[in-house]
Amino acid sequence: MSELPDGVDRRAVAGEERLTTEGEPVYGEPTADGRRVWDAGRSKLGAMLELGMDTRLDGGESVLYLGAASGTTVSHVADFSGPTYAVEFAPRPVRDLVDVAEVRPNLFPLLADARKPREYAGVVEADLDCIVQDVATRGQADVANRNAQFLGEDGLLLAAIKARSENVVADPDAVFEDVRETLSGRYEVLETRRLEPYHDDHLGIVARKR
C-alpha cells in the first residue's frame, strides 16, 4: 500500500479502516476521532488512495482542482493541501462550494470552464504542484492538456477518466487507451488503475508533466 499524504490517515469506523482528513464536515459524512471520513464511493481521488495508487502527494501541495462540483472531494483536498483553486462551470454547485470555502481560507472557488484556462489564468498562481481532475465530460484528456500550463516542473496530474463521458457505446478499455495516447504529449503517465468497485468504468491516472 502506498503512503498517504500527510493529513490523510486511516481510522477504524464500524470495524473497517477508512480514510479520514481533518476539517469541518461538508456532505453529511461521518466522523471518526473528530476527523472527516472520506468516502471513496463518492470521490474518485478518495478511491485512488483507497486502492493504493501512488499519488506522490506529500500534503501541503498547491492544487488546481478541475470539476469541483459542490465540494465533496475538493474539501478533503483543501484540508490537507496548500492553496487549492477549484474550477466548476455549473453555477448551482458553485454556490455550495462558496459555503465550503468560507471556513477554508486556502480554498478558492472559480466559476469557469476548464476547457478555457484563459478564463482563470489571471487568478491561478503559476508553477502549481498538482492538478486534480474529475470533469466527467467529453474531451477529458484535452482538458488535462490545456491546463498543464499551470503546473511547475515535475507537476503532477491526478485524473479520473469516465469512459462513458467520452463514448457511451465504446469499450472502456479502448477509450482509456485513447486518453493515455492523447495525454502522452504533455504528460508522462506513471500509473493507471480502474476504480472499481468504487466507480464503474472510470480510470484513475497519475501522471507527471513533461
| Residues making contact with ligand SAM (CB under 6 A) | 43, 67-69, 72-73, 87-90, 93, 113-115, 134-137
Min. distance of Cβ 157 from ligand SAM in angstroms?
A: 14
Q: Is 127 annotated as a binding residue?
A: no
Task: Rank residues 87 and 151 by Cβ distance to ligand SAM and give the closer one.
Answer: 87
Min. distance of Cβ 174 from ligand SAM in angstroms?
A: 21
Task: Rank residues 62 and 147 by Cβ distance to ligand SAM and give the closer one.
Answer: 147
Task: Rank residues 93 and 204 by Cβ distance to ligand SAM and give the closer one.
Answer: 93
Instruction: Give the pairing type, strands 84-88 and 107-111.
Output: parallel
Task: Rank residues 61 and 88 by Cβ distance to ligand SAM and give the closer one.
Answer: 88
Min. distance of Cβ 159 from ligand SAM in angstroms?
A: 11
Instruction: Give the pairing type, strands 128-133 and 63-66.
Output: parallel
Tell me the C-alpha distance between 151 and 147, whole Å.
Answer: 8
Q: What is the dihedral of CA 38, 30, 87, 163, to 10 degrees?
A: 50
DSSP annotation of 46 reads H
C-alpha to C-alpha distances, 195 to 126, 173, 199, nearest whole angstrom? 30, 13, 5
Tell me the C-alpha distance between 204 and 48, whole Å.
Answer: 6
Q: Is 114 annotated as a binding residue?
A: yes
Q: Is 135 annotated as a binding residue?
A: yes
> How buried is residue 168: exposed, middle or buried, by Cβ count under 10 Å (0-12/13-18/19+)?
exposed
Task: Rank residues 77 and 207 by Cβ distance to ligand SAM and give the closer one.
Answer: 77
Q: Is 20 annotated as a binding residue?
A: no
Tell me the C-alpha distance between 208 and 151, whole Å.
Answer: 9
Q: Is 166 annotated as a binding residue?
A: no
Q: Is 113 annotated as a binding residue?
A: yes
Which segments are annotated as binding site for S-adenosyl-L-methionine?
72-73, 88-89, 113-114, 134-137
Which segments are annotated as binding site?
72-73, 88-89, 113-114, 134-137
